[in-house]
Amino acid sequence: MKLFVSEGNPHCLKVLAALQVSGVQCDVQYVNHDERVVPFLSRPALPALLLPSGLHLFSSNAICRYLFEVSGQDCSELCGQWLEWEATDLQPVLLQALHTAVLQGKGSEVSQVLKGSLNHLEQSLSKGNTPYLTGDAVSVADVVLWAALYPVLSDSSLALDERKCVKTWFDRGAATQSLQSAAQKVLQGKGLQGMKNYMQRQPAPQSSQCRDTQPCNSSPAEGEESERLVSEEEMAAAALTWSTGLSDGPSATNRQHPILPKEGKRNLLVTSALPYVNNVPHLGNIIGCVLSTDVFCRYGRLRDWNVLFVCGTDEYGTATENKAREEGLTPQEICDKYHAIHASIYKWFQIDFDYFGRTTTVKQKEIAQNIFWRLHEHGFLVEDTVEQLRCENCQRFLADRFVEGICPRCNYPEARGDQCDKCGHLINAVELREPQCKVCRQTPVIRSSKHLFLDLPKLESQLELWLNKSTSTGDWTANAKQITRSWLRDGLKPRCITRDLQWGIPVPHPDFKEKVFYVWFDAPIGYLSITANYTDKWEKWWKNPDQVELYNFMAKDNVPFHSVVFPCSLLGAQDNYTLVSHLVATEYLNYEDTKFSKSRGVGVFGDMAKDTGIPSDVWRFYLLYVRPEGQDSAFSWTDMATKNNSELLNNLGNFINRAGMFVTKFFDGCVPAMDLQQEDKKLLALVGWELQRYIQLMDKVKIRDALKHILNISRHGNQYIQVNEPWKKIKGGDTERQRAGTVTGVSVNIACLLSVMLFPYMPTVSQTIRDQLNAPESCMSTMLQGTGTFVCTLCTGHRIGAVSPLFQKLEVDQIEALKKRFGGQQVLDVYDA
Amino acid sequence: MALRELSSLEKYLGLKKPNKYSTQGDKKIPVLQNNNGPPLVGLVTIACHLVKEAKRPELLGDSAESRAVVQQWLEHRVTKLDGCTKEDMKTILKDLNLYLQDKVYLAGNQFTLADVFIYCGVHPLIVDLAVQEKEQYVNVTRWFDHIQHHLGLKHHLPPVVVLRNRIYTSRHH
């Protein structure tokens, strides 16, 4: 056993005194202040006790307790209470006092700082009327507190004044040999100044009153329970807004196709990354792209922005070519088949595209070839001979995805020929070590072929100029900016835009007759051609940067193509193309404790969701709840059930249902008279604030955060009903019944607001609520205007419809069965209860 | 917060009659009215009292050494964890991760009140950790998952999903 102490360290007083009092045999070693004796602590902690078993004690109080216990003196409850008080209450102020006294020389301020603690001691000692803290004998509490207070109390400048009991008790301690000897060893007779060296190494103490950084482990539930303080003005303002009622704005649901930019409105051109036709999308793809985009677009339409949402399937490339060969169909037939599958999956998820197209169209060929020629004319294409991998066995040049090998950068053994899955860097297939043809596993040979390259370095300065403006003025997600920056830092190189394949857009240049465009060159052009298939006035969107704001939604692996390669193509074409203003990229969604894998049968893929019996809106809700924004997240069946049961059923559904039921049962189905009291106005203000935050967040595409505010509102609503007990008051006298009426009326109006806020997330539920409440259509357009206006939409006398529960409970056995079904070969149950 | 924790502890200990608590001061220190004497003040003090009331002294350690270690972690919770800043959090988790490298529980091989206290203390930190971070603090995550299973439904804090497979095995993420 060994005790480590350092000179000038006030905490060592306790342990040295305790060692002597307890009479325990122990080696004492003096070390420097910055010595890290305790192996697992990043910062030096002294004193420390190395126990016989090899464990370390780094708490001075625990060390003292141990020494006393070993010598036969137990620590009573009262004793323990003093030690807890010393650690949580006394030490912080003591540190401040010492800091002031030792480093700032302000001895006089010390008594102010210590006032509260000394008073507490005085009170306890005088009440207890015993010579020592816990009774008639010295306990570890006395030793610890004496030692803790010794440095400040022994300094003559601090007078104990009228605190007679403390003085008497302390003097007893100061007189003990153990304390005096410990003080001598630690302070070396230098008093407070003996601690200067130690104190200089300690972080400056923060006064416990003024912590600006919110302590990070205050439970989030606490944040909800502690209500925002609402001022009188806020309450009056909320009540005023409430009384303005519905505005006569245009109905948000009437859409006239084709949607074209309008003067005087915010014109949003919104794209979601085109899914590759061959792959059935899984939940991660869905949340990353189309679902996020859909929520934002639905919201945007409610905000009366002029929104065009286009998307479609990306169909060219070798994967389709190969699939066609496998299934004995033509590539076009494969695309037709899978395009329909995509379309139906998105329809089930209620993705409200304005147009869902495909890349295999005449317009795509026209536009891509046009851009190509313009790039050629303006000198942004260079020719080069490229070495490519050719599989002699399969008799073809291998497309990137058909070569697998070891990544030259990070040694990942399953790197593909265009991008390494592990480190994410783009590579050229010939750079792979130990390449293999994915189809026949033979080693391919290198053959030369002439190709065309987009001269990115030549376009770099233009790109940077534009990027600086776009990233600073637009709502780019942090990861998008970071990925783009690192791409630029690595240095731009010319990118090959042609391939030796058949299924693709033919390169119109005579020297490159047998070649097609590389899929990543033509895919983003798909956004333009899909729009062109929607309306022949597509250039009003795509060649109109002054009037149009372009939003691109995608998962993070697509960022470089959308922020660097494609903009370069458009800049080089010099045709006043609209470039991306806001790039929204999500992180990855994992599946339970692993990743989605079609081949291993792990995870839920688009078409399977509807067979689970869980409604589309619930899927939408949960995926948006766990939307991987700042970091990766995971889909969890158990968590989905929990969120469904707690948030949808018990919080949202419960509130909306109760509000409606009260109107039906107690007020004959008509909204009663509402006489707003202070309490009601306070609720209106709180709800209004949540609505404001929702709008602020959604405007910035913070979809996941905005959802929380909807749930906060219904939580407020539930509390409001709970506190006011309308089901009881309705049986009372006139005033009580009036109260019940007001509470019910306000509640259904909140329910109506919720239906509007929910619309982007759960469109069917939103419609159902409005049907049940028989809400007027104009409520949709009124409440999300400006910074949010929570008005009374259902006035006194309004007749509501038939009310019924909105959500079903997800039972444990139902969830367990689903988990097994989608878990692949082996499923590990995380909660083996 | 402290009151909810104490009531969860009562449930875990199987104490039939829930006690009535109050709080004092701005920091809302919990207070327990004690029939046999003056009131008990302080989360650690009251929790230890409950353990004794439930006749489960082993939860405070079964030797002088382990008792000291348990008290140390209880104190650590109320001094360093509660109210720590985000910068402190990383250090706390890092140290804890190193500490738990060769231990099943905080006091070594035995489940004690220290595990419960630190579990409650780090829960809000763990809840916000990304998958990569949970893997970075692999020992803390292992211990945390173990404790939350052990406490099962007898605790008010929601379970945190802990992934079984390592997804990020390379250092640079």
Domains and CATH numbers, chain B: 1-55 (3.40.30.90), 62-173 (1.20.1050.10)
- On chain B, the residues whose CB falls within 8 A of the CB of A628 are none
> Is residue A608 scored above 70 in pLDDT?
yes
pLDDT in tens, A292-304: 999 999 999 999 9
- Would you say A542 and A432 are in contact if contact means Cβ atoms under 8 Å apart? no
Residue A215 pLDDT: 38
3-class secondary-structure state, position A799: strand
- On chain A, the residues whose CB falls within 8 A of the CB of B67 are 65-66, 69
| Structure tokens belonging to residue A783 | 């409440």
Nearest CA in chain A to B173: A423
Categorize the per-residue pLDDT at B134 as very low, low, confident or very high, splitting at 50, 70 and 90.
confident
Cis amide leading into A258 (omega within 30): yes
DSSP state of A797: T
Distance CA(B78)–CA(B89), nearest Å, equals 14
Of B86, B124, B165, the CB nearest to A220: B124
User: How buried is residue A785: exposed, middle or buried, by Cβ count under 10 Å (0-12/13-18/19+)?
Assistant: middle
Residue B163 pLDDT: 63
CB contact under 8 A, B94 and A42: yes
CB contact under 8 A, A215 and B83: yes
> Is residue B66 scored above 70 in pLDDT?
yes
Of B65, B71, B149, the CB nearest to A53: B65
Nearest CA in chain A to B96: A40
Residue A693 pLDDT: 93
Of A52, A634, A638, the CB nearest to B131: A634
Distance CA(A285)–CA(A6), nearest Å, equals 58
Categorize the per-residue pLDDT at A280 as very low, low, confident or very high, splitting at 50, 70 and 90.
confident
Categorize the per-residue pLDDT at A604 as very low, low, confident or very high, splitting at 50, 70 and 90.
confident
> Is residue B62 scored above 80 in pLDDT?
yes
Q: What percent of chain B has pLDDT over 70?
A: 91
Categorize the per-residue pLDDT at A159 as very low, low, confident or very high, splitting at 50, 70 and 90.
low
> Is residue A412 scored above 70 in pLDDT?
yes
| Structure tokens belonging to residue B126 | 């763990």
CB contact under 8 A, B48 and A52: no
Lowest mean pLDDT among A77-91, A603-617, A791-805: A603-617
Residue A222 pLDDT: 33
Cβ-defined contacts of B51-59 (< 8 Å, 24+): B51/B13, B51/B113, B52/A77, B53/B13, B53/B15, B54/B13, B54/B14, B54/B15, B56/B13, B58/B110, B58/B112, B59/B111, B59/B112, B59/B113
Sign, Cα dihedral of B84, B86, B91, B93: positive
> Is residue B70 scored above 90 in pLDDT?
yes
Of B81, B158, B165, the CB nearest to A217: B81
DSSP state of A162: T
Assess: ipTM above 0.90: yes
Instruction: Please state the rounded mean pLDDT for residues A573-596.
Output: 91
Which parts of A759-796 fold into alpha helices (H)?
763-773, 778-782
Q: SS3 string of A360-401?
A: CCHHHHHHHHHHHHHHHHCCCEEEEEEEEEEECCCCEECCHH
- Would you say A47 and A3 are in contact if contact means Cβ atoms under 8 Å apart? yes
Instruction: Please state the rounded mean pLDDT for residues B153-169.
Output: 65
Which parts of A599-725 fold into alpha helices (H)?
606-609, 616-625, 637-643, 654-666, 678-699, 703-724
Mean pLDDT (chain A) is 88
Is the overall model pTM greater than 0.90, yes or no? no
pLDDT in tens, A342-368: 999 999 999 999 999 999 999 999 999
CB contact under 8 A, A211 and B108: no
pLDDT in tens, A455-471: 999 999 999 999 999 99
User: Shortest Cα distance from A608 to chain B (angstroms)?
Assistant: 23
> Is residue A56 scored above 70 in pLDDT?
yes
User: Shortest Cα distance from B35 to chain A (angstroms)?
Assistant: 14
CB contact under 8 A, A217 and B72: no
Categorize the per-residue pLDDT at B168 as very low, low, confident or very high, splitting at 50, 70 and 90.
low
Categorize the per-residue pLDDT at B165 as very low, low, confident or very high, splitting at 50, 70 and 90.
low
Q: What percent of chain A has pLDDT over 90?
A: 56
Lowest mean pLDDT among A13-27, A180-194, A681-695: A180-194
> Is residue A830 scored above 50 in pLDDT?
no
User: Shortest Cα distance from B123 to chain A (angstroms)?
Assistant: 8
Question: Which residue has better confidence, A763 or A285?
Answer: A763
Of B49, B68, B86, the CB nearest to A65: B68
| Structure tokens belonging to residue A190 | 């230098």
Longest dimension (CA), chain B: 59
Question: Which residue has better confidence, A424 or A697?
Answer: A697
Instruction: Please state the rounded mean pLDDT for residues B84-106.
Output: 89
Asked if A220 is an interface residue toward chain B (Cβ–Cβ < 8 A), one would say: yes
- Would you say B14 and B54 are in contact if contact means Cβ atoms under 8 Å apart? yes
> Is residue A308 scored above 50 in pLDDT?
yes
Residue A74 pLDDT: 87
Categorize the per-residue pLDDT at B173 as very low, low, confident or very high, splitting at 50, 70 and 90.
very low
Instruction: Please state the rounded mean pLDDT for residues A637-641.
Output: 89
Categorize the per-residue pLDDT at A208 as very low, low, confident or very high, splitting at 50, 70 and 90.
very low
Encoded amino acid at B112, one letter:
T
Q: How far apart are the first and last CA of chain B?
A: 35
CB contact under 8 A, A594 and B165: yes
- Would you say A45 and A64 are in contact if contact means Cβ atoms under 8 Å apart? no
Encoded amino acid at A635, one letter:
F
Interface test with B, best of A66, A84, A88, A597 (most B CBs within 10 A): A84
Residues 16-75 of A with CB under 8 A from B: 39-43, 51-53, 55, 57-59, 61-63, 65-66, 69-70
User: Shortest Cα distance from B16 to chain A (angstroms)?
Assistant: 22
> Is residue B172 scored above 60 in pLDDT?
no
Distance CA(A169)–CA(A159), nearest Å, equals 15
Which residues have CB under 8 Å from B159's CB, separation 6+?
A831, B148
Encoded amino acid at A77, one letter:
E
- Would you say B73 and A201 are in contact if contact means Cβ atoms under 8 Å apart? no
Residues 631-690 of A with CB under 8 A from B: 631-634, 636, 638-639, 642
Residue A228 pLDDT: 62
Which residues have CB under 8 Å from A302's CB, separation 6+?
A252, A756, A759, A760, A780, A781, A784
User: Shortest Cα distance from B131 to chain A (angstroms)?
Assistant: 7
CB contact under 8 A, B76 and A59: yes
Nearest by Cα to A297 from A268, A265, A321: A268
Residue A211 pLDDT: 34
> Is residue A98 scored above 80 in pLDDT?
yes
Asked if B124 is an interface residue toward chain A (Cβ–Cβ < 8 A), one would say: yes
Mean pLDDT (chain B) is 85
Cα→Cα distances A111→A93, A118, A172, Å? 10, 9, 21
CB contact under 8 A, A595 and B167: yes
User: How big is chain A by its Cα radius of gyration, in Å?
Assistant: 35
Question: Which residue has better confidence, A152 or A83?
Answer: A83
Distance CA(A735)–CA(A738), nearest Å, equals 5
- Would you say B135 and B167 are in contact if contact means Cβ atoms under 8 Å apart? yes
Residue A151 pLDDT: 87
Residue A825 pLDDT: 52
pLDDT in tens, A726-765: 999 999 999 999 999 999 999 999 999 999 999 999 999 9
